[in-house]
Structure 1
């Protein structure tokens, strides 16, 4: 495997990688904390969380396999050349593990906190089931042919697909409610910084190696950054420009108030602090 030609560039690469890890990892906490404080997940799209869990799970499989498996690395070098570097860094693996855990916690909050009238859509459930059935079929094909690089590339492609669609339900929900209330913008800002740092990390490696193989050799990581940045900009536009400080629409407010009335004891005024 190729080694670094420039020590300063290697240091910058590591700094950018762990900065992306910290930004992306911390980005999960504002939503978790917001849910905990409100004891409610109203405003957070459940499809987004479910699709996100599948996305991060498949990304973890890809990152961990390419980073730890010598068999997968051997097939990567045979395809792209032994003078190339593995395009997955330790921070990628660490982020994936953390992302799966925090997304699972958010999903657990959806189960235990006030959900209002929100449910997971049948479309998202169908997509998730279909994706894992497809992944299982590919697993047995790869197992029989020992095509490990092809197999993890399938998981990488799945995570790109899930990244492309996971933001859409939340963006549509914000549009319909004309509000981002209940959806943490802190999550988006940190995700945006992580995406920029992740992309910059790949640029630094390409400059040092005088090769852009790591971009198309790990197209999933490239698209992950670009798609995330695009939707982050969209959410920032919704939060700060289109619906700044706006509460949900009248129909949504009425629905929220009716739920509060149901859980408020009849012998106490609804305005009284609990």
Structure 2
């Protein structure tokens, strides 16, 4: 099993990893808090949340299995060499657990809060159903030969696929509404920072080991960072450039026309009849 060659790089690796963990973990809260204050989830795309739950669940399975299972780690070394380091860190496992929990809470908010006319599309339901059916089939295929590394690689591929498509419904919804109202930009900013630091963590490990196996040996983590950064840039452009939040402009004339007089004029007083 490989070890670190440089203590400063090892420390940098840990700092970057837990910085990414904190940034990504905190990124879930702005949307949850926004939903709570508004008592509404209008503007948040439900397909995005459902696909995101599948994505993080798959990533959780991959991270926990590769980090804790010695049998899978042995298969990893046999595949990529005993001189390599396991590409999953403790912060990856912690993030996955937290992500599944917070995404489930957001899904619960969709159930209890005002949804307007929004609903989960049949396409999203079909995608999630096919993905989990495919995962089940792969499990039974790997069972006789104990091909666990191959199986968790499938789950890693699933999370990559879900990462690529999960942002599309929200991006399209913002485009159709010409607004990002109801979708927290705080989530995106923190997600962007987490993606950058996560990618930097992988670079530090590769530099220390003098090998880039870390990238293609855990292609899911690599693509997770790059795809997240790509879509975060799109969302930031939508929020700050294409559809900036506009305050309602009310003309003074309109205010004047709708203002009720505090004292009625003498002409408006009822006239008493002469007796």
TM-score (structure 2 length as normaliser): 0.89
Residue of structure 2 equivalent to 1:184:
184
- How many residue pairs align between the two structures? 248
Runs of 5+ unmatched residues, structure 2: 249-275
* Deviations 1:86-115 (CA, angstroms, capped at 9, x unpaired): 000000000000000000000000000000
Residue of structure 1 equivalent to 2:235:
235
| Distance of 1:29 and 1:142 partners within structure 2 | 37
* Deviations 1:168-224 (CA, angstroms, capped at 9, x unpaired): 000000000000000000000000000000000000000000000010000000000
1:22 and 2:22 are equivalent in the alignment? yes
Residue of structure 2 equivalent to 1:194:
194
| Distance of 1:68 and 1:158 partners within structure 2 | 20
**CA gap 1:151/1:163 in 2 versus in 1, 3 angstroms:** same
User: In 2, are the aligned partners of 1:181 and 1:246 still within 8 Å (CA)?
Assistant: no
1:114-263 to 2 correspondence within 5 Å?
114-246=114-246
**CA gap 1:246/1:6 in 2 versus in 1, 3 angstroms:** same
State the 1:143 CA deviation: 1.2
User: In 2, are the aligned partners of 1:179 and 1:246 still within 8 Å (CA)?
Assistant: no
User: In 2, are the aligned partners of 1:66 and 1:88 still within 8 Å (CA)?
Assistant: yes
The alignment yields a C-alpha RMSD, in angstroms, of: 0.9
| Distance of 1:246 and 1:30 partners within structure 2 | 20
| Distance of 2:130 and 2:145 partners within structure 1 | 23
Runs of 5+ unmatched residues, structure 1: 249-274
User: In 2, are the aligned partners of 1:178 and 1:246 still within 8 Å (CA)?
Assistant: no
Secondary structure of the structure 1 residue equivalent to 2:195: helix
Query: Larger Cα Rg: Structure 1 or Structure 2?
Result: 2
State the 1:247 CA deviation: 7.8
* Deviations 1:224-270 (CA, angstroms, capped at 9, x unpaired): 0000000000000000000001489xxxxxxxxxxxxxxxxxxxxxx
| Distance of 2:109 and 2:241 partners within structure 1 | 29
Secondary structure of the structure 2 residue equivalent to 1:144: coil
| Distance of 2:110 and 2:222 partners within structure 1 | 31
Secondary structure of the structure 2 residue equivalent to 1:145: coil
| Distance of 1:90 and 1:112 partners within structure 2 | 34
Residue of structure 2 equivalent to 1:262:
none
| Distance of 1:123 and 1:234 partners within structure 2 | 23
Which aligned runs of 4 or more in structure 1 are off by greater than 4 angstroms? Answer: none
State the 1:145 CA deviation: 1.4
Residue of structure 2 equivalent to 1:79:
79
1:97 and 2:87 are equivalent in the alignment? no
| Distance of 1:145 and 1:113 partners within structure 2 | 47
1:48-63 to 2 correspondence within 5 Å?
48-63=48-63
